[in-house]
Amino acid sequence: MGMTVVEKILARASSLSSLKAGDIVEPKVDLAMSHENAALVINQFLEIYQGTGLEPKIWNPSKVSIIFDHRVPAESPKTASNQKKIRGFVAANKIKKFHDIRGDVGGICHQVLPENGYIKPGFVVVGTDSHTTSHGALGAFAFGIGATEMASVWALGCVLNVEVPATIKVNVTGKFKKFVGPKDLILHLIGKLTAEGANFKVIEFHGPTIKKMSTSGRLAICNMSVEAGATSGIVPADNETVRYLREEAGIKGKIHRVVPDNDAVFERIVDIDVSNLEPQIACPHTVDNVKSIKEVKGTKINQIVIGSCTNGRLDDLEIAAKIIKGKKVAQGVRMLIFPASARIYNQALARGFIGEFMKAGAVVMNSGCGPCLGIHEGALGDGEVALSTTNRNFKGRMGNPKSEVYLCSPAVAAASAMKGVITDPTKIKL
Amino acid sequence: MSQVIYKLGDDISTDIIYPGRYMATVLPTETPQFAFADIKELNEKLNTKQVPHGSIIVGGKNFGCGSSREQAVSALKGYEIIIIACNFARIFFQNSINLGLQTITCPEIEANEGDELDIKGGEVVNKTSGKIFRIEPMPKARQAIIEASGLIAYTRKRVMEKASMR
Ligand code: SF4
């Protein structure tokens, strides 16, 4: 019986010649990522060794990565102390894939990992972050786990008792209209599948539209696969994957492509034609509350956010800069820009995007998670409305349960910033 | 027999269970105070009133969706409550098994605040309404971790086996 990409990856990582959905395996991990929550992972890791008389030892420090992104620079003494503790642990355990708060190599974990060549097709990647699904964009099986599970991975180098997930194949055809793109596709798909429609399953993306899509766009769709509940999203490695890994991630060695068998067994096949897709908006307070822009245009906005691990990459900033260039952010609207990594920030600076944003009246912040999870900066007032290119709009997500968050593409965000209301970018004159 | 102390709807996210602004707090001894911080009534019930161990919170579909933050589980575990929901989001579900929070998947569950429930033999019996609901059995892969009383103990055993093999 044929295997899906994830079945093949798990078979290799579990030293089995074949397996199928529902089997229980113990795959070896190729990369284990944490962010500030490494503070908790360290606690749990040390606890594993308590009373054993053994020295706590990470199975392979070269496969562990820690990135500071959620609260950078630290918003409180507590966070600063956690980060300090993690730095000590990183040094003591010789963890090299560590990215501190820096303006050259820092950034959000889900951008830092791919751009530094830490992810390769066929890898098993685990991260103490639900959006670890992002890395499926490079043909890896990447999924989110909790801190205790990560502690277990640090100790053993494998994930215990993994049930091989069934796979939903999503076949995408058609050419996007101008100012419609990967974000609109994934919002549309989540609306279709619902927030739990892919729970415990993998979404494998196929079709000519995906073939043509840049790695940046693939990162966005795999990133948000978890919003349909998916264990992971994955795009089987192809020429674009290899191009990205060689040209942008600096990988020199051999790259193995893992592709599904022709007779792979999928639980379900979903076909989507994007030719007539309009910009999509996820309305408060669930990500699957997706509407076409027609239904919500004109909604008044107080804050626009462009950034995050979903849409804070160079092409996202480029499209926003193109729309906002020479215009002004509407009075009464705050526009916040968070490049996904320091590298992207520097590229955007060189390309003149940052200058355009500032001239228009936007505030450009350091790269990091920023207001995406409502801990740090860019909180909303009672009753205020945000329109954001991030990935979650749950009640309280941006720090205030009395506010509302709408999710959209960078093009919609930029067009709306100028008008102060939700605006269809396909209808504006540049 | 246990009492339902609160009833929640569908898609209860980890942002509701444990708001992001408390994420710098990680110790299981400190997280419980922030459980459901933005649902004042429930938070106060947990924090100020005596909620006996084994009390039940009932949820709808997709309970625990969103972030992988384990605080959402350790905060609830601190009260030794039981969560019964139609189904759970994957990471929350796995985290609760790893930490020993009792989660019961009961697709058709109907229960209101104050109802008395009996959980036994693969069923939830609602003593107040007289209705009986089927429990979805725990997947085998997870049973082993539960039997070892959590992932820390389970991993510890493996680490020791590995060490003795050398
Ligand atoms: S940008 Fe938002 S979604 Fe992405 S890792 Fe940071 S907090 Fe999570």
Query: Is any ligand 1 atom within 6 A of the Cβ of residue A129?
Result: yes
Question: How far is residue A281's CA from residue A406's CA, in Å, rounded to a whole number?
Answer: 7
- Helices (runs of H) and strands (runs of E) counted in chain A: 15, 18
Beta pairing class for A166-173 and A201-206 = parallel
Is the pLDDT confidence value at B166 over 80?
Answer: no
Reported as type and span, the H/E element at residue A330 is none
The kind and range of the H/E element at B126 are strand B123-126
Sheet holding A201-206, edge to edge: A232-234, A201-206, A166-173, A268-273
**What's the CA gap between A260 and A9, in Å, rounded?**
10
A121 within 8 A of A137, measured Cβ to Cβ: no
The 10s digit of each residue's pLDDT in B101-130 is 999 999 999 999 999 999 998 999 999 999
- Residue A214 sits at φ, ψ, to 5 deg, of -70, 165
Residue A420, Cβ neighbours under 10 Å: how many? 16
Given 3-state DSSP classes, what are the helix, strand and coil percentages for chain B, each rounded to the nearest 5? 35, 20, 45
Could you count the other beta carbons within 10 Å of the beta carbon of residue A29? 22
B75: chain A residues, CB-CB within 8 Å: none
Q: Which of residues 210-239 of A touch B (CB under 8 A)?
A: 229, 231
Of A300, A319, A338, nearest in space to A421 by CA: A300
B51 with A105: CB under 8 angstroms? no
At A429 the pLDDT is 81
**Strands of the sheet with A303-307, listed across from one edge:** A290-292, A280-282, A404-407, A385-388, A303-307, A334-338, A363-364
Tens digits of pLDDT across chain A (430 residues): 899 999 999 999 999 999 999 999 999 999 999 999 999 999 999 999 999 999 999 999 999 999 999 999 999 999 999 999 999 999 999 999 999 999 999 999 999 999 999 999 999 999 999 999 999 999 999 999 999 999 999 999 999 989 999 999 999 999 999 999 999 999 999 999 999 999 999 999 999 999 999 999 999 999 999 999 999 999 999 999 999 999 999 999 999 999 999 999 999 999 999 999 999 999 999 999 999 999 999 999 999 999 999 999 999 999 999 999 999 999 999 999 999 999 999 999 999 999 999 999 999 999 999 999 888 899 999 999 999 999 999 998 998 999 999 999 999 999 999 999 999 999 988 7
Name the 3-class secondary structure at B130. coil
What is the widest separation between alpha-carbon atoms in chain B?
58
- Predicted local distance difference test score (pLDDT) of residue A20: 95
A310 CA → ligand 1 middle, Å: 8
Per the CB < 8 A criterion, the answer to whether A286 and B9 are in contact is no
Residue of B nearest to A36 (CA): B24
CA dihedral A371, A374, A378, A380 (to 10 degrees): 130
Q: How far apart are CA A69 and CA A134, in angstroms?
A: 16
Averaged pLDDT of chain B: 94
- For residue A202, give every residue at least 6 positions away whose Cβ sits within 8 Å of its Cβ, in sequence order, or none: A4, A6, A141, A165, A166, A167, A168, A230, A231, A232, A233, A234
DSSP A379: P
Cα Dmax for chain A: 70
pTM of the model: 0.96
Using a 6 Å cutoff on CB, does residue A131 contact ligand 1? yes
Q: How much is the pLDDT for A3?
A: 97
Output the pLDDT for position B50. Answer: 79
- pLDDT at residue number B7: 97
CB contact under 8 A, B15 and A71: no
- CA dist., res. B20 & res. A373, Å (int): 6
ipTM: 0.95
CA trace torsion A343, A346, A348, A350 (10° rounding): -140
Asked if the Cβ–Cβ distance from B68 to A129 is below 8 Å, we say yes
Cβ of B91 within 8 Å of Cβ of A394? The answer is no
Which of B17, B26, B86, B164 has the most A C-beta neighbours within 10 Å, making it the best mutation to test the interface with A?
A: B26
Assess contact for A334 and A304: CB atoms under 8 A: yes
Say if CB A374 and CB A396 are below 8 A apart: yes
- Does residue A363 have its Cβ closer than 6 Å to ligand 1? no
Instruction: Report in angstroms the alpha-carbon separations of A192 from A188, A189, A277, A290, A355.
Output: 6, 5, 13, 9, 39
The full set of domains in chain A, from first to last, is 5-272 (3.30.499.10), 280-427 (3.30.499.10)
CA distance A30 to A122: 9
Helix (H), strand (E), coil (C) string for A94-143 = CCCEEECCCCCCCECHHHHHHHCCCCCCCCEEEECCHHHHHHHHHCCEEE
Rounded distance between C-alpha atoms, residue A416 and residue A16, angstroms? 52
Is the separation of the CB atoms in A73 and A101 below 8 Å? Answer: yes
Residue predicted with more confidence, B45 or A430: B45
Whether the CB of A69 is below 8 Å from some CB of chain B: the reply is no
What structural domains and CATH numbers belong to chain B? 2-138 (3.20.19.10)
Q: What is the DSSP string of A43-101?
A: HHHHHHHTTT-PPP--S-GGGEEEE--TTSS-SSHHHHHHHHHHHHHHHHTT--EEE-S
Q: Please choose from A391, A393, A394, A405 the residue to mutate so as to test ligand 1's pocket, defined by most ligand atoms within 8 A of CB.
A: A391
Instruction: State how far the alpha carbon of A164 is from the alpha carbons of A8, A26, A259, B141, in Å.
Output: 10, 10, 17, 10
| Distance between Cα A124 and ligand 1 center (Å) | 21
Q: What is the pLDDT of residue A154?
A: 98
Q: How many CB atoms are closer than 10 A to CB B165?
A: 6
Structure tokens at A285: 């307070």
Nearest to A248 by CA among A225, A277, A214: A214
Burial class of residue A85, CB neighbours in 10 A (0-12, 13-18, 19+): middle
Pairing type for strands B123-126 and B132-134 reads antiparallel
Q: How far is CA A304 from CA A321, A377, A384, A399, A429, in A?
A: 14, 13, 11, 15, 20
3-state secondary structure (DSSP) of residue A24: strand
Q: Which of A236, A234, A231, A232 is nearest to A260 (CA)?
A: A236
Q: What are phi and psi of A141, to 5 degrees?
A: -95, 105
Instruction: Please count the residues of chain A.
Output: 430
| Rounded-to-integer distance, Cα A266 and Cα A270, Å | 10
